[in-house]
A and B are shown apart, each in its own frame.
Chain A
Amino acid sequence: MKLTSPLRHRRRILAIAVAAAVTMAIAAVGGGLLFGPGTAQAGVSNRGTLVPPTLNDQKVLDARPDFVGEIYLLQSLGGRDFYRVPRTDGTDCWATSSNSAEVRLETWVCSPDFPEQRAVVDFSVFGADKADPELRVVSAQGIAADDVAEIRLVSRTNQRVRSIAVRDNIYSLRAQDLPSSATPVALEAVDRDGNVLFRSGQSSGQRP
């Protein structure tokens, strides 16, 4: 049996170590490029900018001791402002407002499983009227995880009637911009590959 010289052994170990380091560096910097777009991390990159609460916000903050008491503005889109509201346990709640001068926390939702198990925190308003008594989408807005590429509005016949782009983790479509030809009754969030990550019609609303 031919013995490996000490020098050749050390060079082999060094080559293995360099290869491992290069692989780890590529994974850390651009894992999506190496392994494909469908494997993007389910995070929320947009953390927002600290803004002061209004007097009306203080009523909600006072009723919620689990809120840290800070509000972060994520973005303004479609006539609405969107916010991140940190909790004392380290998770976040989320909020939106069409009238931030009066109240920033006009609508708020806390979802501890977002974004890992739930792709969106949806603030969309659903409703029915005497003239049209079936529940439908009245306006569409919410917070989306990083891997959500777009939001699709779906009709009663399961047709996709409108797409909403996600920008900096936000989606927003005002009531007057909803399609008039087909009434949307549900919405779904899809990734870049077209995989459905969330559908408002599902009982759980969690990632499949």
Chain B
Amino acid sequence: MLMQTGSIRYCSARVRGALMVRNAVTRQLGKGESVKRLVARAAAIAAALVLVSSSAAFAGEWSWSGSLYPNAGGRDGSCIWYPNTSSCAGWNYWHWTSGAVLSGPYVKYLTGYENNERIRGIWLYNGQNGGTWVSGVDMSGYLKAVATYWEGAGTYYWAYAQT
């Protein structure tokens, strides 16, 4: 039985934007550019980032890897529909999710989204990888991206979602 690992990362667009502005300013000061032009350029970058980040309430991503085979321990109790054999992202306005069945001779996983009303996804079999936008499974709104083991021998699975 494989040991499970789990990692969840949320990257804020605002944090990434602040780092970009700082790095740009540092590079230009090193080149001897005038402070006045530098401030104007930094302001332009900041304005563009505000336009980009304001289009999404919270920009984030989720990734998980491990085994969801029964009793493998990789399951996430916060998943709604199949908590004993699923791993899922937190609630968010997810755009697309993907998964990869990384090993195992015979296995099937459901990759998709869920909320309290319904679950929708596509099957991924051993050796396959793929993904879907929320619209691809006819869902929308505030959801959890979810990966669910369904049947077959235990295997390693990698899941990812992005807003």
Q: Mark A residues whose CB is within 8 Å of B.
A: 56, 59-60, 63, 93, 96-99, 102-103, 106-113, 118, 122-130, 135, 138-139, 175, 200, 202-206
Contact = CB atoms under 8 A, between A and B. Distances in A.
A127 B119 contact: yes
B129 interface: yes
Interface string B121-136: 1111111111111011
Contacts of A60: 96, 131
A106 B133 contact: yes
A102 B106 CA distance: 35
Contacts of B110: 126, 135
Interface string B119-163: 111111111111111011110000000000001110000000010
B30 interface: no
Residues of B in contact with A, size category: 20 to 34
Contact of B136 (A106, A110, A130): A106
B120 A203 contact: no
Contact of A128 (B116, B119, B127): B119
B105 A110 contact: no
Choose among B81, B120, B133 the residue with the greatest number of A CB atoms under 10 Å from its CB. Answer: B133
B121 A126 contact: yes
Contact of B137 (A56, A125, A205): A125
B68 interface: no
